[in-house]
Amino acid sequence: MSKEPKVSIRGLYKIFGDDPQAMLPHVHSGMGKPELLEKYNHVLGLQDINVDMQAGEITVIMGLSGSGKSTLIRHLNRLIEPTSGEVIVDGENVLDYDEEQLRNLRRNKMSMVFQKFALLPHRTVLQNAGMSRLVRGEDEASAESHGRPWLQRVGLDGYEDHYPHQLSGGMQQRVGIARALASDSDIMLMDEAFSALDPLIRTDMQDLLLELQKELQKTIVFITHDLDEALKLADHLVILKDGYVVQQGEPQHILLNPNDPYIEDFVSDINRARVLRVRSVMSPLNGETEFSGVVDANDNLEKLIELSEGDTSHNFKVQKDGEDVGILHMKDLVRALVPTRAAEKGAVR
């Protein structure tokens, strides 16, 4: 029995212009983004988006500038109104919500972390961390009591009385994450949340998010244009182009099975040994008893290359949580390092 998605997007369209409803029949009949703009001066922002987001998982939506990823995430809390479609959260279509229901959704169920931090400059770090509680109507003491422990969790203990301008960019973003966590919302929306940060700080923030997620199991929707970041964070990856979904699924599967030349271009320069995991290229155990060693299903292939010293005759027993789950043949590993063309994807396991 399949799990009911926490968030489900169904047949979502967004057309920008003076009369978007009149443009829908043209789009439904196959008119694309360039022709719609040239002929009718309307912009096709999103086209027939269908995505399920499971509770407790990180769904990463990625694409180049103009692909529609930020437009899409803003439909979840209705910062942008769709032209047509449905956004189902916990079984309810949020597009049917009245103003009070929508306000409740934004205050209690969904929190948002922005690329530009969006901190209030005249408020202290602690006051910013508790802001979601103040907006909800709680008093300042309650807001601060909820914000303080999350500031400690994100590494800002001792900075409560500072102001945003006294913090580095990475520290300001930590305040933004603490503010989102202090709201205790089920769903976190993160729109290019780490894009403005220096590479080393960005890596630290990714690690922090994964560490917190392991414990909290939030439903996170994360927007990025960076494939390395997407592969590191995503449980479910959605790749957009010109407002439509080119491919979606488990990141390792997409990397091994690109279904479109656009995806091939995306993954062509990735260090596959570093991002591919043993579980993606292992085979079922078939009575084998001789192994060169034991590895974890989530080890990357780079580790296996080091262990085998490049000898393709080796094979390794694969375990997950101490249980035997498969075997990794080094010859299969070598094949996985060679990018697969979309036309050949049927030949890949």
Residue 3 lies in a domain: no
> In the predicted model, what is the mean pLDDT of the chain?
90
d(CA 268, CA 264): 6
Instruction: State residue 44 phi and psi, 5-degree precision.
Output: -85, 105
Question: Of 267, 290, 308, which residue is a domain's last?
Answer: 267
Q: What is the CATH number of the domain that holds 305?
A: 3.90.1280.20
Asked if 318 and 296 sit in the same domain, the reply is yes
Residue 28 lies in a domain: no
d(CA 331, CA 226): 30
Per-residue pLDDT reduced to its tens digit, 277-321: 999 999 999 888 889 999 999 898 988 998 888 888 899 999 998
pLDDT confidence band for 344 (50 / 70 / 90): low
Asked if 308 and 235 sit in the same domain, the reply is no
d(CA 160, CA 25): 54
Closest by CA position to 10, among listed 104, 91, 113: 91
Asked if 226 and 181 sit in the same domain, the reply is yes
pTM: 0.86
Question: Are 85 and 235 spatial neighbours (Cβ–Cβ below 8 Å)?
Answer: no
Residue 173 lies in a domain: yes
> Average of pLDDT values for 204-210?
89
Residue 36 lies in a domain: no
pLDDT at site 349:
35
State the Cα angle at 117 between 169 and 101, rounded to 5°: 160
pLDDT at site 343:
44
Q: 334 exposed, middle or buried (CB, 10 Å; 0-12, 13-18, 19+)?
A: middle
Structure tokens at 140: 């300042």
pLDDT at site 79:
93
Asked if 132 and 231 sit in the same domain, the reply is yes
Residue 177 lies in a domain: yes
pLDDT at site 25:
96
Question: Of 239, 267, 295, which residue is a domain's last?
Answer: 267
Number of domains in the chain: 2
Q: Is the pLDDT of residue 348 over 70?
A: no
> Average of pLDDT values for 30-39?
93
Query: DSSP label at 195?
Result: T
Residue at token pair 């966590």: 181
pLDDT at site 36:
95
d(CA 239, CA 224): 10
Asked if 342 and 301 sit in the same domain, the reply is yes
Asked if 216 and 332 sit in the same domain, the reply is no
Domain holding 109, by residue range, is: 54-82+97-267
Residue 316 lies in a domain: yes
Structure tokens at 123: 């408020």
Closest by CA position to 273, among listed 239, 238, 231: 231
Per-residue pLDDT reduced to its tens digit, 254-284: 988 899 998 988 888 888 888 899 999 999 9
Asked if 310 and 227 sit in the same domain, the reply is no
